[in-house]
Amino acid sequence: MNFLKAFFESFTNPTFYKLTLSAATPLLFASLGGMFSEKTGVVNIALEGIMLLGAFTGVVGAALFGSPWIGLILAMLVGIGAAALHAMASVNFQANQIVSATAIILLAQGVTGFLLEPVFGQPGSTPIYDKIPEVKLTFLKEGSFLHGMIGSLSPLIYVALVMVIVSWFIVYKTRLGLRIRAVGENPEAADTLGVSVYGIRWFGVLMSGLFASLGGAYLSVGELGQFSENMTNGKGFIALAAMILGNWTPKGALFACLLFGAAEALNEQLQSNPTLAISSSVKPLFNLIPFVITLIVVAGFVGLTRPPAASGTPYEKKG
Amino acid sequence: MPFHVPSEDEYNDYAVVMKDIVKRFPKVLANDEVNLFVKKGEIHAIVGENGAGKSTLMNQLYGLYNPDDGDIFIRGRKLDIDNPKDAIKEGIGMVHQHFMLVGPLSVTENIVLGDEPTKQFNVFDLQKAKKEVQKISKDYGLKVDVNARIEDLPVGTQQRVEILKTLYRGADILILDEPTAVLTPQETEELFEVLQNLQKDGKTLLFITHKLNEVIEISNNVTVMRAGKVTGQLPTEETSQRELANMMVGREVLLRVEKEEKEPGEKILEVENLNVNDNRSLPAVRGCSLDLYKGEILGIAGVAGNGQSELIESIAGLRKAEDGKVIYEGNDVTNATPREIRELGISHIAEDRFKHAMIQPFTVAYNVALGRHYRPPFAEGGFLNHKQINKRSKELVKQFDVRPPETQILAGTLSGGNQQKMVVAREIDYDPDCMLVSQPTRGLDIGAIEFIHQTLLEMRGRDVGMILVSMELDEVLSLSDRILVMYEGQFMGEVKPDEITREEMGLMMAGQTLEEVRSESDG
Amino acid sequence: MGKKSWIRVLIPIVSVLIALLIASIIIIWVGEGSFMERLQFLVTAYSEMIKGAFGSVSAFMNTIIKMSPLILTGLAVGFGFRAGVFNIGAEGQMAMGALTASIFAVNASALPMVIAIPMTIIVGMLAGAVWAGIAGFLKAKTGAHEVITTIMLNWIAYNITNWAVAGPFNSGGGTPKSPEIAESTKLPNVVSSQATFLSYGIFIAIAAAIIMYVILYRTSMGYEVKAVGFNPFASEYGGINVSKNIIITMAISGALAGLAGTLESIGLYYRFYGTLTSGKGFDGISIALIGQNNPFGIIAASLLIGGLRTGSNQMQFVGVPKHIVTIIQSIIIFLVAAERIVMTIMGWNKKKGGSK
C-alpha cells in the first residue's frame, strides 16, 4: 500500500520529471554516439570508458582553467582521441572490436584513477568546482509544476535534445548519411563505388567519442561539479541498451533514454521518499532495478530490432 | 581470319588494351603476362575455369586491384587505374557476380551512391536522383521501380539495377562478371537483348563466363585463360565449344557425363506436402511432395532462391517444417535434429561449404571427424580417439586425391576444389543410404567437377538414393535419373532428362507447369 | 611448433613489453625533478615492484595467493572465448559464488571437514554456473549479446552482495562483512610464514587448469565447444547442438569463476566481504588474452598479473598509484586485440592480397 502511495507521490512531483531529463541526458549523448558508430558498422562498447574520460577531463578543465565550459571542450577533444584509438584498431587493423573496446574501458578506469592523486592531490574523488550554470526560465511562476520541472535545467539538456534532431538530419537527409548507412550494411558495395569505407567508419567512431565524452562531462561539470572514481557506474552500457531498444535511430534513442532516465529518477524518488523510509542497507536492491530492466530490454528486443548488417565485422580493403 | 593483335598506333581503335599484365598473390601467380585486346563497340568474352585468373584481370581493369607489372590502355591512352573512382571516371563500369547492392536502401539510393546529387548543406537531393534514374531507365529500356527496396526485388531486377549503376555514371565500357549465373534461360535471353542494344548504342562489353554456349551465342571475340595465362584469342565465329573447352582445360573434355542404365530400388525417402519458411518467415516451400528411391539421382532444377535451399535444410533437420511430413525408411523424421538425421544414415553435402560444410580453423582430420566426433571409432567414453581420426582421414585424403595430402593442416588453407573433395569424402564415409547434395561443384575447376560427378555416379551404383540440387542446368540434366523443377516453392513438374528440352526446362524454371509447357508445344 | 605457434606466444610477450614501456613513460611523467631524478624514480618504482612480488618468502607467497583466483577467472574467460562467448561477467559470478559458498559455510559447523569442504565448493561453483547460465540461456534463446547481459549481471550481483552483507548476512559489527565461516569449512594450509598463509587453493586452481586442458584438447565436449566458437553454422550442420553448447560453456565458465570466489572465502578471508572480488574477475579477461586461451598460458599470465598486483601494492609506498597495473593491463589487451599493430611493429607485416 505504501508503495503505491510512494509511486503516486513520485509521479506527481515535478522533481521526478526534472530528474528524468537529467538522468536521460548523459544516456542520450552516449546512445547517439553509439548509434553513429554502429551505423557505419563498428561496434563501440567503450562508451562507458569514454564517458568516464569525459567526466574526468571536464573537471580537469574546470580546475585548471577555472571554467567548466573549457572543461567541456577539453572533454570533447579527449573523447575524440580515445575513440581514435578504437577506430585505428578496429578499422585499420581489423581488431576484434569488443576486445579493443574492453581495453579502452579498462584504460579509462586506470588512467582516471591513476591521475587523481598527481593532478588533484587526493585519491578517490576531486574537490568540487564550478559547474555549468543552469538555464533559468524566469518567466515561469515560482512554485508551479512547470517551473519545478523545467524552470532550471542545465543547458546541456537542451543541447542533447537538439542533437537528436541534428543526428536524424545527418543520417537520413544528407549525402554523408546515405553513405554512412550504405557502409554499415554492405561496405563492399560502397567500396566498389568509390566511397571511402575507412573514412566513413572513422567518422562514425570519432562522433561516438565526441558524444559519449560530452555525456560523461555532463555528469561531472554539468551536474555535480566534481569527479569520483568510476562515477559512470554502468551508464555507458545502459546507453547501449537504449540504442538497441531504439532500433539504432535517433528518435528511438530519445524514447529509450527517457525510459531509462525515468527508471533512475523513480529509483531516486522512492529512495528518498519519507513514507517508505528505505534504510541504507536496502538501497542496493533498488539500485539494481535499472540493470534488471536493461537486461530484460536487451534480451527481449534482440530480433525485434535490427542492427546494421555489417555491424561488428571488420572490413579489409582488397589488394 | 585469325585474331588480329594490334600494334601500338592502332590502340586508339581499341576500347581496352591490357598488355603483359602480371598479378601475384601470396600463394599463386594469378595473371602471368596476360594480353587482352578489345575493340571499341565489340562484345568480348573472357572464358576460363574457376581460378584461371579472369576475375583478377577484370578487377585490375576496374581498379579494385593494382597490377604488379604491365600496362593498361583505355581508348589508346596509357592509364593507372588505382581505384574504382578512377575507373568510373574513365567510363568503365562493372557488374559484379555477387551483386554489390545495399539491401535496405532503395533502387535510387543504390544507383546514385557515391555520386549523389546534393543541395546546400550536403543535403541529398532525392527528387533529382529519382528523376535521373527514371530517365536512364527509360533510355536504355531497363524497367525498374525507383522507390522499391533492393531486398524486396527478384534477382533479375537486381541485376538491372547493377547495370543501371554503371550507365548512371556514364560507363561505355561495361564489365559483366558471370552475369547469367543467377538467371533462368529466359532471363538470360532478355539480358542478351539488353546487351545487344547497348552494343548498338556504341558501348563496349566485356563478359566473363564459363558457359561456352553463351560465348558462342553472343560474343564477337573470345579470350581463353588457363592457370593465369592466355591460351587462346579468337573471333567467336571461327571456333566451337569443343575447341574452347580444350583451350580452357588443356585436354579433351567430356562435356557430358556417361551414365549407365539402372533400375531404381525401393523407396527410401518420402516428402509429403512440406511447408517451410525462409529467414524472413515468408513461405519458401509451399506444399512440396517427392519420393526418392535407392540407387537413383533425383535432380531438383531451378534458379537460386526458389525454395531449394529451404527444402533440403528442412529434410536435413536444419530448418523447421511448418507443415507436412518427411518419412525415411517408413519412419516419420519430420523436424528431427541434424544429429538424428545423420545417425539414421542420411548425409548432406551443404551448398555453402565455407559457411556450413566445414570449419576452416580446424584441421583436415578434425573436419573429417565432424558429425561423428562423439561416437566410435572417433571417440570413446567422451574422449577423442586421435589415432583413429588421423588414420581414417589419411586414408580418405589419399582415396579422394585431396591436395596437399596432409591431414594436420588447417582446412582453410586448401583450395576450393580440395575443400569440396574433403567434404564429399567425409559425407561418403558416413556410409549413407541417402544423400542430400546441394551445389556440389560450385566454383570448382573441371578436374574437380569431373571427379565429383564420377563419385556421385559411383554412389548411385552402390544403391544410394540422392537428391541433387544444382543451379547448373547441364549438371542436373546429365546426372539425374528424374528431375523436378522448382519455382517459388512449388514443383512445376517431373521429367526425365532425355524427354525434355532446355527451352522447356527454362519455361518451367520461370513458372510454367509441365502441362502448360507441353500444351504450348503441342498446340 | 610451427610458425603460427611462435606468433601466438610472441605477440603477448611483445605486448607486455610495450605496455611496460608505456607505463614507464607514465611513471616518468608523473615523477618530479630533473630527468635523471625521474629516471631514478622509475628504477626505484620497478625495483620496489619486483621486491614486493618476489623479494621475500612472504612476498612470493603473497604473489601465489593472488595468483590462485586469477588462474580460475582466467580459465573462466578463456574457456568462454574458445566457444566464441565473451564472458565479462566473471566478476559477478565470482561474487555470487563466494557469497553462496560463504552462506553455506557459515551454517555448516555440524559437518565434518571431509564433507563440508567439497560441499561448499560445489555450492559455490553451482552458484557461479547458474549466474553465468542466465546470460548463456539468453544468448542461446534470444541472441542477446553476452557482453551486455554479463555486465548487467555484474552490477546486479554487486548490488545483491552489498545488500546481503550490509543487511541479513551481516556479522553484527559496523562494517559490511559476513560472520566467519565454520572451522570445518576452512581449507588447510600448505605453508604459513608469519602472518601470511597459503592454502591448498593453489593446487585446486592448477588442477582445474589441467582438467580444462584435457577437456579442450582430448574430449568430444571440447571438440564441440571449439567448433561452436569457430563456426556455429557448420557445427549445427554437423549435428552439434549449438544452444546447449553455449549454455554449458557459460555454465562451466561461471562455475570456474564461482570456484575462484569460493576459494577466496574458504582459503583466505574465512568470510565474505563486499570487496572480496576487487577486480579479479576483470583481471581474468587480460589473463585469458595474454595466455591466448590456453590453460598453461593462463597459468603463466596469472603469475605475471599476480606479481604485478602484489608488486604494485609496494609501489604505492614510493608514490606510484596502483592504478598503473590497470593501465598496463589495458594496453596489453588493446595490443593483443589489434595484434596486427604488434606484428607491424615487429616487422611482420603480412600483406593480405585479397585472393578469393
CATH number at residue A79: 1.10.3470
Please indicate whether, in this complex, the C-beta atoms of A194 and B88 are within 8 angstroms of each other. Answer: yes
- Contacting partners of chain B (3+ CB pairs under 8 A): A, C
Instruction: State pLDDT tens for residues C240-289.
Output: 999 999 999 999 999 999 999 999 998 888 888 888 888 888 889 889 98
- b/e for B149-183, b at 16 or more Cβ within 10 A? ebeebeebbbbbbbbbbbbbbebbbbbbbbbbbbb
Percent of chain B with pLDDT over 70: 98
- The confidence band for A194, taking pLDDT boundaries of 50, 70 and 90, is confident
Residues forming a β-bridge with B485: B301, B493
Question: Is residue C130's pLDDT more than 90?
Answer: yes
Please check whether residue A60 touches C, CB under 8 A.
no
Segment C210-215 mean pLDDT: 93
* Tens digit of each residue's pLDDT (9 = 90 or more) over B237-275: 988 888 888 888 777 666 566 778 888 889 999 999 999
Q: CB of A117 within 8 Å of any CB in chain B?
A: no
Answer yes or no: is A84 within a domain: yes
Helix, strand or coil for residue A134? Answer: coil
C351 vs B25: CA distance, rounded Å? 10
Of B24, B28, B318, the CB nearest to C237: B318
Q: Which of C77, C253, C282, C134 shows the shortest CA–CA distance to A295? A: C134
pLDDT-wise least confident of A143-152, B253-262, B300-309, C104-113: B253-262
Identify which has the larger pLDDT, C30 or B429: B429
ipTM: 0.83
Q: Do residue A181 and residue B65 have CB atoms under 8 angstroms apart?
A: no
pLDDT reported for residue B244: 87
Confidence bin at A78 (pLDDT 50/70/90): very high
Best residue in C4, C81, C214, C220 for a mutation probing chain B (most B CBs within 10 Å): C220
Contact residues on chain C for B409, CB-CB shorter than 8 A:
none
Chain C residue with CA closest to A284: the answer is C159
- Distance to chain B for A212, nearest Cα, Å: 25
| Packing angle, helices B241-249 and B446-461, rounded to 10 | 100
Q: C303: closest CA among C35, C53, C103?
A: C53
Cα end-to-end distance, chain B, whole Å: 44
Nearest Cα neighbor of A204 from A169, A168, A176 is A176
pLDDT confidence of residue B445: 76
Q: What is the pLDDT of residue C214?
A: 93
Domain ranges of chain C: 61-305
Question: Is residue C1's pLDDT more than 50?
Answer: no
Within 8 A of A46 by CB-CB distance, chain C residues are none
C143 touches chain B (CB under 8 A): no
C245 CB near a chain B CB, below 8 Å? no
Q: What is the DSSP letter of B35?
A: E
Which pLDDT belongs to residue C3?
Answer: 57
Does C197 reach chain A within 8 Å, measured CB to CB? no
* pLDDT, position B1: 60
Q: Which residue has the higher pLDDT, C12 or B69?
A: B69
Query: Chain B residues with CB inside 8 Å of C355's CB?
Result: 25-28, 30
CB within 8 Å: A237 and C152: yes
C151-200: per-residue pLDDT in tens? 889 999 999 998 888 888 887 777 778 888 888 888 888 777 777 788 88
Q: Which of residues 145-204 of A touch B (CB under 8 A)?
A: 173-179, 181-182, 185-186, 188-195
In this structure, are residues A86 and A96 in contact, taking their beta carbons and an 8 Å threshold? no
Among the listed ranges A154-158, A273-277, B456-460, which one has the minimum average pLDDT value? A273-277
User: Cβ B337–C239 below 8 Å, yes or no?
Assistant: yes
Q: Are C219 and B338 in contact (CB < 8 Å)? A: no
For Cα atoms A214, A284, A225, give the angle at the middle one, nearest 5 degrees: 30
Q: Is residue B387 classed exposed, middle or buried when 0-12, 13-18 and 19+ CB atoms within 10 A define those classes?
A: exposed
Does A9 contact chain B (CB < 8 Å)? no
Residue A50: which domain range?
2-301
Q: What percent of chain A has pLDDT over 90?
A: 47
Say if CB C251 and CB C262 are below 8 A apart. Answer: no
Q: Does C162 touch chain A (CB under 8 A)?
A: yes
CB contact set of B100 (below 8 Å; sequence gap of 6+): A186, A188, A189, A192, A193, B162
In the predicted structure, residue A231 carries a pLDDT above the cut 80: yes
Q: What is the pLDDT of residues A272-306, one digit of tens each?
A: 877 777 777 778 888 888 888 888 887 887 666 77
* B105/A178 touch (CB, cutoff 8 Å), yes or no: yes
Question: Is pLDDT at C350 greater than 50 in this prediction?
Answer: no
Residue spans of beta strands (DSSP E) within B282-351: 283-293, 297-301, 321-328, 331-332, 346-349
pLDDT digits (tens, 9 = 90+) for B148-183: 999 888 878 899 999 999 999 989 999 999 898 778
Q: Where are the alpha helices (DSSP H) in B220-307?
A: 241-249
Q: Beta-strand (E) ranges in B200-320?
A: 204-209, 221-226, 229-235, 267-277, 283-293, 297-301
- Buried-exposed string C35-44: b where 16+ CB fall within 10 A, e elsewhere: eeebeebbeb
Beta strands A135-136; A152-153: pairing state = antiparallel
Distance from CA of A92 to the nearest CA of B (A): 18
Chain A contact set for C163 (CB, 8 A)? 281-285
In B, which residues are within 8 Å of C231 by CB distance? 355, 359-361
Confidence of residue A58 (pLDDT cuts 50, 70, 90): very high
A287 to C323: CB separation less than 8 angstroms, yes or no: no
Mean pLDDT of B507-515: 84
pLDDT of residue C178: 84
Answer yes or no: do A173 and B85 touch at CB < 8 A.
Answer: no
Cβ within 8 Å, pair B371-C354: no
End-to-end CA distance of chain A: 69
Question: What CA–CA distance (Å, rounded) separates A114 from A112?
Answer: 5
* Residues A287, C163 contacting (CB under 8 angstroms): no
Read off the pLDDT band of B521 (50, 70, 90): low
On whether any CB of chain C is under 8 Å from the CB of B426, the answer is: no
Residue B79 is given by DSSP the state E
List of chain B residues whose C-beta atoms are within 8 Å of the C-beta of residue C243: none
The answer to whether the beta carbons of residues B293 and B268 sit under 8 Å apart is: yes
Q: Is the pLDDT of residue C321 over 60?
A: yes
pLDDT-derived band at B516 (thresholds 50, 70, 90) equals confident
pLDDT tier for residue B380 given thresholds of 50, 70 and 90: very high
Of B25, B342, B366, the CB nearest to C239: B342
Q: Is A296 on the interface with B (CB under 8 A)?
A: no
C115 to chain A, closest Cα gap in Å: 34
Q: What is the mean pLDDT of chain B?
A: 89
| Residue contacts between A and C (CB atoms, under 8 Å) | 150
pLDDT confidence of residue C355: 28
Q: pLDDT tens digit string along B408-446?
A: 999 988 888 889 999 999 999 999 999 999 999 887 877
Label residue C351 by pLDDT band (50, 70, 90).
Answer: very low
The model's confidence at residue B522, banded by pLDDT at 50, 70 and 90, is low
Question: Does position A77 have pLDDT exceeding 90, yes or no?
Answer: yes
Q: What is the number of alpha carbons within 13 Å of residue B273 lying toward its C-beta?
A: 2
> Which sign does the torsion angle of CA A6, A12, A13, A18 carry?
positive
Residue A291 falls within a domain, yes or no?
yes
Residue B325 in this model has a pLDDT that exceeds 50: yes
Query: Quick check: C339 contacting B, CB < 8 Å?
Result: no
- Picking from A81-95, B112-126, C169-183, which range would have the lowest pLDDT averaged per residue? C169-183
Domain membership flag for residue A312: no
- Please state the pTM of the whole predicted model: 0.84
Q: Kindly tell me if the per-residue pLDDT of C2 is higher than 60.
A: no
pLDDT, position B373: 94
B368, B425 Cβ separation under 8 angstroms = yes
Beta strands per DSSP E along C196-338: 196-199
CA distance A227 to chain C (A): 16
Put simply, the answer to whether A185 touches B102 (Cβ < 8 Å) is yes
State percent of chain B over pLDDT 90.
53
Interchain contact A241–C (C-beta under 8 A): yes
Residue A131 banded pLDDT, cuts 50, 70, 90:
confident
Disruptive mutation site among A120, A230, A288, A316 for chain C (greatest number of C CBs within 10 Å): A288
Q: Which residues of C touch B318 (CB under 8 A)?
A: 236-237
Mean pLDDT value across residues C75-98? 92
Nearest CA-CA distance, residue C4 and chain A, Å: 18
C chain contacts of residue B343, beta-carbon cutoff 8 Å: 239
pLDDT at C353: 29
Question: Are A99 and C145 within 8 A, CB to CB?
Answer: no
Cell numbers at B268, concatenated: 527410401
Q: Residue C345's pLDDT is what?
A: 73
Identify from C334, C351, C356 which residue to disrupt to test chain A contact, counting A C-beta atoms within 10 A and taking the largest count.
Answer: C334
Q: What values do phi and psi take at B46, rounded to 5? A: -120, 115
DSSP state at residue C179: P
Beta strands in chain C (DSSP E): 189-193, 196-199
Q: Do A107 and C330 touch (CB under 8 A)?
A: yes
- Is C61-305 a CATH 2.60.40 domain? no
Give B320's Cβ-side CA count (13 Å radius). 5
Chain A residue with the nearest C-alpha to that of B100: A189
Using CA coordinates, name the residue in chain A closest to B108.
A178
Nearest CA to CA, how far is B364 from chain A (Å)?
Answer: 26
- Per-residue pLDDT of C325-343, as tens digits, reads 889 889 988 888 887 777 7
Q: How far apart are CA C296 and CA C302, in angstroms?
A: 10
Of B102, B151, B166, which to mutate for an interface test with A (greatest number of A Cβ within 10 Å)?
B102
Using 50, 70 and 90 to split pLDDT, how confident is the model at C50? confident
The answer to whether the Cβ–Cβ distance between B371 and C238 falls below 8 Å is yes
Answer whether residue A318 shows pLDDT above 60: no
Number of domains in chain A: 1
